[in-house]
Structure 1
Amino acid sequence: MSGCCPPSRSAPSSVAAADRGAATNAEGLLVLPGGTFRMGTADKDGFPEDHEGPVREVTVPSFAIDAYAVTNARFGEFVDATGYRTEAENYGWTYVFAKFVPAGLRKISPRPEQTPWWCGVSGAYWRAPEGPGSDVGESGDHPVVHVSWNDAVAYCAWAGRRLPTEVEWEYAARGGLDQARYPWGDELTPGGEHRCNIWQGRFPVRDTAEDGYSGTAPVDAYQPNGFGLYNTSGNVWEWCADWFDEAQSSRAMRGGSYLCHDSYCNRYRVAARTANTPDSSSGNLGFRTVADV
């Protein structure tokens, strides 16, 4: 995988709700009625190697889903209640985008050869997202990051939820639109308005932050889609329940992140997908939850 897609923990340089068509249940989840939709894409700008296609009709039963990605505040409640330690803490390091790493720490942090804009930072984890001395501060409403698939599953077990399947995720992310590129339509910035948190400028050296954010944005930034979900394009990648392919070595991730840019990684399209190993984590990878109804 390339660009904003976070490297796996086994990379060579590793270190030691707005209601817009969906009801809300008692737990604050959006209840989506089941239906049939056209999943996947034949987009000429897509990535066939990611198995984005073919376009096919899929029927999904009713389910409930978070309007937002899980926040630092919500994940903190889980950790405080259970004493859970994330895999980043147990391994002692996680991947941080180089721009956010202090210069002194950046010099001593190993980087994957293929994606040198990622630093394997010792001591970084969800509560210290940029390494020792950093904290989430006033970012309680931002998506939690540096969580592995295994961490997300542990949270779900505590919360009585589960991770969405890719079918559920894409159905919800489309917001009722048929084969649109984005949750709001086919144009990235209709009328010049930014609708998601991605990279503007020349990657990886300069992000102009024309969309209002450099790094993560609050989970309720921008407008929700037709089902009431926020930030299903950009901001942070979101873990899904499924294996990425038949090899069953990596789990699927959806939605793109604040590091995505059309010049190299336009995976903020609704049908786009990528993957990582279940123990991997990074500063642009989070999750949202679902529940059966």
Structure 2
Amino acid sequence: MQHNLLVPFKNFLIVLLISVACWQCQQVESQPVEERSDDEASVGLEEKSLEKVEGMVWIPSGVYRVGSEDKHANKSEGPSHEVKVSGFYMDETEVTNDEFREFVDATGYLTVAERPVDWEEIKQQLPPGTPKPHDSILQPGSMIFQPGPTSNLYDISQWWAWKIGADWQHPHGPNSDIKKKGDYPVVHIAFEDAQAYAKWAGKRLPTEAEWEIAARGGEPAKPFAWGDKLTPMGEYLANFFQGTFPDGNTALDGYGNSAPVKSYAPNGYGLYDMIGNVWEWTSDWYRPDTHVQNKQAGLKGCINPNGPSTSYDPQEPLVPKRVTKGGSFLCSEEYCSNYRPSARMATAYDSGQEHLGFRCVKN
């Protein structure tokens, strides 16, 4: 997806916020992310005396296959290769509004979408010489889904809008709220917000490899988390978009927008909504060639892989991006069909969106 550098700043900002050279299997972070101390010797050891952690499920250590070269896959999803990971706990659901409120009430935390906009930070991600927009535009807010008729599926400004006053408590703008939605996934969460919650909860964000392994539910690698077909026997097993994108959602799966967590059956590990509902942050920086580098490193070099040490997206090289996984209620067969365990999206680290949330893991 390309953008025109001469479009008005507001449209450019939409593209920027939706999207924000060396590789190695051991992470070198420019932002603090809790690192794993596990080494090769710890992978595959018998897991003894596992304690039960409320609201989390155990993903066992082992050798797993990640990535995909299936006909459904995008180029950055391949090649398929093996990794070794140590066992870890994962939240059984996406972090909910009620859970995030506990964190905010305990700490007074303000999300990125609620803070004053820093023009000095934004302009570092824009072409040199980009003029500063009027102060009326540089107000706290986030990205909301606002579809209308479209003839060009490459023009995302036809369904995404920068909404001043949109944040986790007001998911569709200042006139919306989350009353009676305590069990819905929290959204409009930037990477920094997800990290802050995870640290407070004594957890961390999953690596891309951990997330993909967990999403497969202990099953062999298939195109979809549950097998070879998106809707086996006509059954909808996750919350995604049906109909004509972006303004013809038939909601055949029961939901036109996000759904309460646990609205669909769990996978083989007991995890809910790993596919669909809302996108989920991982701790990995994004590069389109991550899996290529992993496969070249071989299994010996890919033990608890943490992704690249820096970000690079050729479509927006100035914008630091993390990997998000799982797709959302906006993924359709005709556009953004990323409701697969191997699918990966590059998302600006400072981006908050109406269909972006997270879940945590714990060593």
TM-score range, shorter chain: 0.7 to 0.9
Q: Deviations over 1:148-200 (max 9, x none)?
A: 01100000111011000011101100011111122211111112111000001
Asked if structure 2 preserves the Cα contact closer than 8 Å seen for 1:39 and 1:57, the reply is yes
**1:99 shift after superposition:** 4.4
Q: Which residue of 1 aligns with 2:130?
A: none
Q: Distance in 2 between matches of 1:74 and 1:265?
A: 29
Q: 1:201 to 1:216 in 2, by over 3 A?
A: same
Q: Which residue of 1 aligns with 2:258?
A: 216
Q: Distance in 2 between matches of 1:170 and 1:24?
A: 23
SS in 1 for 2:100: helix
SS in 1 for 2:53: coil
Q: Deviations over 1:47-71 (max 9, x none)?
A: 10xx211110111101000110000
Q: 1:115 to 1:186 in 2, by over 3 A?
A: farther
- Letter matched to residue 170 of structure 1: E
User: Is 1:173 aligned to residue 215 of structure 2?
Assistant: yes
Q: 1:24 to 1:116 in 2, by over 3 A?
A: farther
Question: Identity across aligned pairs (percent)?
Answer: 47
SS in 2 for 1:37: strand
SS in 2 for 1:12: helix
- Letter matched to residue 77 of structure 2: E
Q: Distance in 1 between matches of 2:59 and 2:13?
A: 43
Q: Distance in 1 between matches of 2:239 and 2:51?
A: 25
Q: 1:189 to 1:88 in 2, by over 3 A?
A: same
Structure number with bigger Rg: 2
Alignment of 1:1-293 (within 5 A): 12-14=12-14, 25-48=52-75, 51-90=76-115, 91=117, 92-99=140-147, 114-245=156-287, 247-248=310-311, 249-292=320-363
- Letter matched to residue 290 of structure 1: V
TM-align CA RMSD: 2.1
- Letter matched to residue 88 of structure 1: A
Q: Distance in 2 between matches of 1:159 and 1:139?
A: 21
**1:24 shift after superposition:** 7.0
Q: Distance in 2 between matches of 1:163 and 1:146?
A: 16
- Letter matched to residue 143 of structure 2: Y
Q: Distance in 2 between matches of 1:188 and 1:88?
A: 34
Q: Which residue of 2 aligns with 1:19?
A: none
Q: Distance in 2 between matches of 1:76 and 1:24?
A: 27
Aligned residue pairs total 266
Q: Distance in 2 between matches of 1:173 and 1:139?
A: 25
- Letter matched to residue 202 of structure 1: T
**1:81 shift after superposition:** 0.7
TM-score by length of 1: 0.86
Q: 1:24 to 1:214 in 2, by over 3 A?
A: farther
- Letter matched to residue 112 of structure 2: E
Structure 1 residues without counterparts, runs of 5 or longer: 3-8, 16-22, 101-111
**1:115 shift after superposition:** 3.5
- Letter matched to residue 12 of structure 1: F
Structure 2 residues without counterparts, runs of 5 or longer: 3-8, 17-49, 118-139, 149-153, 288-307, 312-319
**1:285 shift after superposition:** 0.2
- Runs of 4+ displaced beyond 4 Å: none
**1:206 shift after superposition:** 1.1
Q: Distance in 1 between matches of 2:271 and 2:324?
A: 17
Q: Distance in 2 between matches of 1:32 and 1:52?
A: 22
**1:133 shift after superposition:** 1.8
SS in 1 for 2:158: coil
Q: Distance in 2 between matches of 1:25 and 1:31?
A: 9
Asked if structure 1 preserves the Cα contact closer than 8 Å seen for 2:147 and 2:158, the reply is no
Asked if structure 2 preserves the Cα contact closer than 8 Å seen for 1:128 and 1:135, the reply is yes
Asked if structure 2 preserves the Cα contact closer than 8 Å seen for 1:64 and 1:291, the reply is yes
TM-score by length of 2: 0.70
Q: Which residue of 2 aligns with 1:106?
A: none
Q: Distance in 2 between matches of 1:64 and 1:28?
A: 10
**1:114 shift after superposition:** 3.8
Q: Distance in 1 between matches of 2:181 and 2:333?
A: 27
Asked if structure 2 preserves the Cα contact closer than 8 Å seen for 1:13 and 1:113, the reply is no
**1:10 shift after superposition:** 9.1
Q: Distance in 1 between matches of 2:272 and 2:211?
A: 12
